[in-house]
Amino acid sequence: MMSTKTNADELRDEVRRRYAEAARAVTEASSCGCGSGSCCESETDGRWGEALYDDDQRGELPEAAVLASLGCGNPLAVAELREGETILDLGSGGGIDVILSARRVGETGIAYGLDMTEEMLALARKNAAEAGIRNAVFLKGMIEEIPLPADSVDVVISNCVVNLSVDKPSVLSEIGRVLKPGGRIGISDVVAEDRLSPEERAERGSHVGCIAGALSRREYEVGLEAAGFEGVDITFTHEVAEGMHAAIVKAVKTTQPELVGLPVIRAAESAGCC
C-alpha cells in the first residue's frame, strides 16, 4: 500500500525522533543531550544549549533539565516576566524555561509547557517535581494547534523551536490567538538574512538541525504583523552559519487586531532535511 505521508509529515516525524532520542540520552545519564545525533548545529561551540544560561539560572535547575537544554538563546533574558502572569513555552523540551518561568511568575502565576514528544514531557515533569515547582503544567500537542483557549496567556516564549515547524503561518496565528490583547512574545530562534533563498538556507544545515527551516527576518516580520502583532523587533545575537543567526524576536499583540490574511511564508516546506 502506498504511503500517504507528505514531506511535512516526514519532517515532523524526524524532529520528534531526534528529540525523543535527546530525552532518552539525558534520562540514561548521557553527557550529550542529543545522543548519537545532533539536535541543533554547532551546539559544541558554546553558543547553543546550557551555555546560554548564567550560573545563577543553572543553579536553580536539576542537572537533567540543564543537560536537556537544546536551544539557541535565552528567551527569559528579554521576556520580562511578572508575578501572577500566565506563561506558555512552545516546544518546552526538558522544562528548563518552564521551571525558570514558574519561579518568576510565582505561586499566583502559571507556566505552561507544550511539547509533542512523550519522552521530553516525562523528563520535564520529573525535572519540575525535583525542582519543587507546583505551578508548571506540561501539555502534549503541536505548536500549530495550541491546546489552550483564546486570550488566555500573557506571554509566549520559545527557544529555537519555531524554525522546526512545518507550518509557520499556523504557529504565528495560534500564538496570536492564545495571547491576551496586549500580550507579548519573547522568542529565541534561528533567523536567516533576507538575501538567502530557502534553497540557500538548506545548503547551510538540516531542518532538524535548526537551520534549513528558518524564516528570514522579513518573513518573520510580515508573518507576525499579519497575525495581529505590532512593535516587531528581531535582533540578531550571533551567527550560527553563514547568513544564519540566532535571534531574539519580540512583539506585542495589538489590542485591536485587524482581520488580515496570513502571508505565505512556507520556506521550510521547500527546504531539504538532514
* C-alpha–C-alpha distance, residues 230 and 147, integer Å: 24
Percent of the chain with pLDDT over 90: 57
Residue 244 has pLDDT above 80, yes or no: yes
Taking residues 151-179, report their average pLDDT: 96
- For 159, residues 6+ apart whose C-beta sits below 8 A from its C-beta are 69, 70, 71, 72, 73, 74, 75, 89, 91, 93, 97, 187, 188
Tens digits of residue pLDDT in 15-62: 778 766 776 776 676 444 443 334 454 443 445 455 555 556 655 555
In sequence order, the β-bridge partners of residue 184 are 155, 252
Q: What is the value of pTM for the model shown?
A: 0.80
Cell 485587524, residue located: 258
177-201 in b/e burial notation, b at 16+ Cβ within 10 A? bbbbeebbbbbbbbbbbeebebebb
Residue 269 has pLDDT above 90, yes or no: no
* C-alpha–C-alpha distance, residues 51 and 172, integer Å: 28
In sequence order, the β-bridge partners of residue 90 are 114, 158
Taking residues 146-168, report their average pLDDT: 95
Per-residue confidence band for 207, with pLDDT thresholds at 50, 70 and 90: confident
Q: Which three cell numbers stand for residue 84?
A: 501572577
Residue 180 has pLDDT above 90, yes or no: yes
97-124 in b/e burial notation, b at 16+ Cβ within 10 A? bbbbbbbbbeeebbbbbbbbbebbbebb
* C-alpha–C-alpha distance, residues 264 and 170, integer Å: 11
Which structural domains are found in the chain, ordered by start? 7-270 (3.40.50.150)
Per-residue confidence band for 79, with pLDDT thresholds at 50, 70 and 90: confident
Higher pLDDT, 211 or 140: 140
Residue 266 has pLDDT above 60, yes or no: no
Tens digits of residue pLDDT in 210-229: 788 899 999 999 999 999 99
Alpha helices in the chain (DSSP H): 7-27, 55-59, 63-67, 76-79, 96-105, 118-130, 168-178, 198-203, 217-226
